[in-house]
Structure 1
Amino acid sequence: MRAYGRRKVLALAAGVLAAATACTGNSPAEPSKAAATSSATASPAPSAPVTAVTRAEAADEFFKLTATDDTLRAPNELQGRLDMELKDVVTGGQAPLTAAAFLSHDFAPPRYKWGTPKLFVPRFPPTEQAPWFSALATRDGSPTLLTFTKSPDRWRLSSAAELLPGQEVPEIQLDAEGYATAVAPDDRTVTISPQFMGPVHASVAETGTAGPTAGLLAPGPYTTEVAAQIAHLRDVLKNSDEQGGYSYDSIFSADNWPVYALRTTNGGALIQYSLSRTSTTTAVTKAAEGDGIPVPDPAQWALGQSKMRKTLRLVETHQYATVVPPLKAPAAAPVIAHDGALTRASGQ
């Protein structure tokens, strides 16, 4: 513990981030001559089931939205570009991440170069109020899993997570026409129902191998290692003779972020979801208050000063994709994709 200088440990505690985030159907039989002669009265052949969004429409929306995003990110004199992004282009966890990208880069955020997408389009009934689809495409050369959603009448980008090194998107179950199957929020055929994915991940990230959800997610830098990091910093900042005098905690929350799940060919699910993380450091002694709490570089744009006297609160938004096994073959679910950033900061 003593090997750490107060400033170094405080900077680490204040600025720690979670990581820098087809087959075909049978052909119809040839009609008989009798059937041909009675074609005027015969019923027409049934057409393919209709869907709320076709694969062609999904492809069109992908290219339209990524092109719009690129245009709005380009440095120009257009006022209100961030407002237009938040209104017309992004939603869900992408909203705070996009806002932070604009504000932290003086309204000239990084622009992306997109590759050709591989689409995963669920077949929704025409009455579906919030259809969605996913796409795997390179973003600046990195394979990225994205999800677009429509609500109420406009398509927006809701999630984007880069595949982690060595990871691949599992084989998605497709029907004869190439449409995917969405997994219901309360589906019980997988080891973690989509509606519980966020809370389970939040629990593992906070408690690691010691909590009630231990073993549900595979160990790694976005699960058990985060929990170990939090526990270590909490102990050092509170109890160390040289660095003590502070309280530290870091809480993950699923909030009301949307969750998207696709059925995989083995009966499992590819689940995409978002979490927020709030890390708080507080000076609890006069000596600690006198030293202050360093503001990490990623939060300078939000606070405009290098140190807080009493409290520093950092909020991050993270987006993930996790492959959940089927209940018939239970195993720890690996996180295969992530993206995230600090999106808000406050203190006094």
Structure 2
Amino acid sequence: MRVTGTVRRAWVLVAALAVVPVAASACGGSEPEVRPTTLVTTTKPEPVPLTLEVARREYRAFLANDDVARAAGDERLALTWVSDGESALTAAEYRRAAFDGDPVKRYDYGTPKLYVPKLEPDVYPQWFVASVPRQERGDSKSRRTVLMAFILRAPGERWTLSLRTVLTPKAKEPKVVVDAYGYAEPMNTADTSVLIRPREVPGIQATVASEGPDSVAARVMKSGPLTTGYYATARKERRRARAKGLTRTTVITATPYPIFQLRTENGGGLVLYSLFRNTVTGVEDEEDETAKPPIPPEAEHLLDGTVEGDEVHVFETLQFAAFDPARPKEGRGGGNGDRGRTPARPKAEVIAEAGGVHSADTPEEKKTPN
């Protein structure tokens, strides 16, 4: 092949350019600069099995950090250790203390009973329940049993307190079934061996609280301050409001928060859950533009003291525990001397309550278009 002068000069130029970096390096007396490629890798956290020791560690960690936050009045720190309904209630508690100029309440705890279900390590959320005597610091008369549900939603995240409720003074805490190794027996939310499927317990209580003792739901849940008592209280508040030229509407609904359920002795269940209660107080005479409903004392710390429109909306998160008895066997008669009689049907009972107002607003009146 005949090589022209032009082609020959191109080859020489390419060869010269290839030698330049080596020559420059030799003149400088140092190695050529190397820029390695940075590889960003992430490792997925491995699931940690929930054991009794893990539950004890996380329970103690919560108490220690919660007390540090309360001692310092540090709402931000407190909120990193709670979730679900406890988040809104914790924020409201700190704001109430700041509004009143009081320190946040601190507590002393006794020896806990930890109910740790045996769960698959790769199934989330993981959870456990603690039952513990608690009292306000310096007030021995305030000693009550508190039920606390802790949750872990994914590997590598922090355990948080999802729900906290207080056993009513006359209630007896049901005995949770624990195996030879100390683990509690969890229940499925759709378990049909109990009178009310656990996932339906919140709705049953909300129905009784809204409709009263004549409700069909009252056939499976006992009357009391936390069921038919809510209904009676709402009726009294409506009558009082009407006497003052006001309207008042209360609605109790389920929440999106988790439900925790544990097997108890004799086939029953202990169910922990939350409900929302929303109340609207308005002016009966809507034509009177100067009339304003009063701000409820329990919501003063959440509002600026003025009512923009003609309604005050108050939102509560309430947290409960209920005993759900075993479903009776159909067609079984009574014992000796009771032949032919149908034994009294058992009913679920709400045994613990806590919570309160977490937000409020006074929406502006909607203008009717001309």
TM-score (norm 2): 0.74
- What does residue 77 of structure 2 align with? 84
Match of 1:233 among 234, 237, 243: 237
Q: Are 2:125 and 1:130 aligned?
A: yes
For residues 289 and 118 of structure 1, the distance between their equivalents in structure 2, rounded to whole angstroms, comes to 57
For residues 117 and 93 of structure 1, the distance between their equivalents in structure 2, rounded to whole angstroms, comes to 22
- What does residue 322 of structure 1 align with? 322
Amino acid at match of 2:212: G
- Which segments of 5 or more consecutive residues in structure 1 lack a partner in the other structure? 1-49
- What does residue 207 of structure 2 align with? 203
Which digits, 9 at most, give the CA deviation of each residue in 1:293-314, with x for residues without a partner?
1112221110121767610111
Amino acid at match of 1:151: R
Residues 316 and 342, structure 1, Cα contact 8 Å, conserved in 2: yes
Which digits, 9 at most, give the CA deviation of each residue in 1:97-117, with x for residues without a partner?
101011111184212212121
For residues 255 and 171 of structure 2, the distance between their equivalents in structure 1, rounded to whole angstroms, comes to 27
TM superposition shift of 1:286:
5.0
- What does residue 59 of structure 1 align with? 56
Amino acid at match of 1:341: G
Amino acid at match of 2:298: P
For residues 58 and 237 of structure 1, the distance between their equivalents in structure 2, rounded to whole angstroms, comes to 48
For residues 264 and 336 of structure 1, the distance between their equivalents in structure 2, rounded to whole angstroms, comes to 14
Q: Matched residue pairs, number? A: 290
- What does residue 33 of structure 1 align with? none
For residues 294 and 217 of structure 1, the distance between their equivalents in structure 2, rounded to whole angstroms, comes to 35
- Which segments of 5 or more consecutive residues in structure 2 lack a partner in the other structure? 1-46, 136-142, 330-344, 364-370
Give aligned-pair identity as a percent.
Answer: 31
| Shift in CA distance, 143/224, structure 1 to aligned 2, threshold 3 Å | same
Residues 303 and 346, structure 1, Cα contact 8 Å, conserved in 2: yes
Residues 119 and 135, structure 1, Cα contact 8 Å, conserved in 2: yes
TM superposition shift of 1:291:
4.4
For residues 308 and 113 of structure 2, the distance between their equivalents in structure 1, rounded to whole angstroms, comes to 46
Residues 291 and 310, structure 2, Cα contact 8 Å, conserved in 1: no
Please show how residues 1-348 of structure 1 align to structure 2 within 5 Å. Answer: 52-75=49-72, 81-86=74-79, 88-106=80-98, 108-140=103-135, 141-152=143-154, 153-238=157-242, 242-244=243-245, 246-285=246-285, 290-305=290-305, 310-328=310-328, 330-348=345-363
For residues 270 and 238 of structure 2, the distance between their equivalents in structure 1, rounded to whole angstroms, comes to 33
Higher RCO (CA 8 Å, separation ≥ 6 residues) = 1
Aligned-CA RMSD value: 2.1
Amino acid at match of 2:57: D
TM superposition shift of 1:320:
0.4
TM-score (norm 1): 0.78
Amino acid at match of 2:244: Q
- What does residue 19 of structure 1 align with? none
Aligned with 1:57: secondary structure?
helix
For residues 53 and 291 of structure 1, the distance between their equivalents in structure 2, rounded to whole angstroms, comes to 57
Residues 268 and 323, structure 1, Cα contact 8 Å, conserved in 2: yes
Which digits, 9 at most, give the CA deviation of each residue in 1:152-205, with x for residues without a partner?
222111111111112121111111111101110111111111111111111111
| Shift in CA distance, 285/67, structure 1 to aligned 2, threshold 3 Å | same
Residues 294 and 308, structure 1, Cα contact 8 Å, conserved in 2: no
Which digits, 9 at most, give the CA deviation of each residue in 1:221-272, with x for residues without a partner?
111011122133334534xxx434x321111111201100000011010000
TM superposition shift of 1:83:
3.0
For residues 232 and 288 of structure 1, the distance between their equivalents in structure 2, rounded to whole angstroms, comes to 25
TM superposition shift of 1:51:
8.7
Amino acid at match of 1:173: V
Structure exhibiting the larger radius of gyration computed from Cα positions: 2
| Shift in CA distance, 147/284, structure 1 to aligned 2, threshold 3 Å | same
